Amino acid sequence: MKLATYLDGSRDGQLVVVSRDLRMAHYAAGIVNQLQQALDDWNFISPQLQGLYEALNQGKAKHAFAFDPRRSMAPLPRAYLWAKGFAYSNQTALTHPAHPAFQNALQYGPSDFFWGPFEDMAFEADGPELDFAAGLAVITGDIPPAASADQALDGVRLVMLVNEVGAATAFSPVAVSTDELGAAWQQGRVNLTLQTTLNGRKFGLCDTGPDMRAHFGELLAQLAAHRPVRAGAVVGTGAVANPGVTDAQGRSQWPKGHHCIADKRAAETQQDGQPTTPFLKGGDSVVVDMKDLLGQSLFGAIETQLVTQPPVV
């Protein structure tokens, strides 16, 4: 199934079920109001949401309406926990070559508020250098402590896109259950292509499956190593990356691009001795999307516009 959360003036929004082609939606209020409530009682609630999803796809859902992703909050607007791994070994090799510990690290971030897919992000003009990191994330059910990777993988409830800009984290309009991914979901990995543009120009077009060193089950097992993980935790991959290739002159090239500026600058340093790609600035826009096996947008796109604000005095 595909789920989204519509703005309604509250902190947690209103859960809606979205059709497979992202064209139609239906409020889930007759079943449950918010996504966290569904996660807390998933075995009882999810079959009812699935039934509504099937009726919506068949054109049989009464009171269906056109889905507008610009009315969407993050699918889970706030969470009990947000952590990301460094799941792509090439990404850590480029940006942290002298720190192998990053290969197994989980980095925690604020989770009391997540950005919606079309919300502008404001930052100080004279603040620190700003980057983005585009990847995938999952929303979990309950996972017991000391769970194995396979057991932890059973705790995955939904998958979505994520884009981090500084300390701000935005998610795709729609979160998708793993069965909806079909053959693209294999061994805790999504085997599709992540597409990122910066100011309308292609920045990254990387495969998300083969080079994912630690799959979602392994990331979640690490999270649950010494404590239970509660329904509503969100865990991301970090920036997606594919390894470079060597050209005839022995120089490394990255034909599929990158999904964060730090990676591209590190690659430029390897190639030319110094980076040339600037970090983010006011007016920049980053778009993150992923197509399904039929070429349709799977989660809807994250379209982030950066705006400057006066420095805090």
- Mean pLDDT confidence for 207-224: 95
> How far apart are alpha carbons 60 and 89 in whole angstroms?
46
Averaged pLDDT of the chain: 92
Q: What is the pLDDT of residues 281-304, one digit of tens each?
A: 999 999 999 999 899 999 999 999
Phi, psi angle pair for 35, to nearest 5°: -65, -40
> How far apart are alpha carbons 232 and 36 in whole angstroms?
6
pLDDT > 60? residue 215: yes
Residue 79 near residue 232 (C-beta atoms within 8 A)? yes
Q: What is the pLDDT of residue 124?
A: 78
pTM, whole model, 2 decimals?
Answer: 0.93
pLDDT band for 310, please (50, 70, 90 cuts): low
pLDDT > 80? residue 95: no
Q: What is the pLDDT of residues 108-121, one digit of tens each?
A: 999 999 999 999 99
pLDDT > 70? residue 158: yes
Fold of the CATH domain 76-309: Fumarylacetoacetate hydrolase; domain 2 (3.90.850)
Q: What is the pLDDT of residue 254?
A: 85
Q: What is the pLDDT of residue 64?
A: 97
Is the sign of the CA dihedral 132, 192, 138, 100 positive or negative? negative
- HSE value, Cβ hemisphere, 13 Å, CA-based, for 85: 23
pLDDT > 50? residue 69: yes
Domain boundaries, the chain: 2-70, 76-309
**Residue percentage of the chain with pLDDT more than 90:** 83
Query: DSSP states of 12-34 as a string?
Result: S-EEEEE-TTSSEEEE-TTT-SS
Residue 26 near residue 65 (C-beta atoms within 8 A)? yes
pLDDT band for 99, please (50, 70, 90 cuts): very low
CA-to-CA dists, residue 83 to 107, 153, 221, angstroms: 5, 16, 13
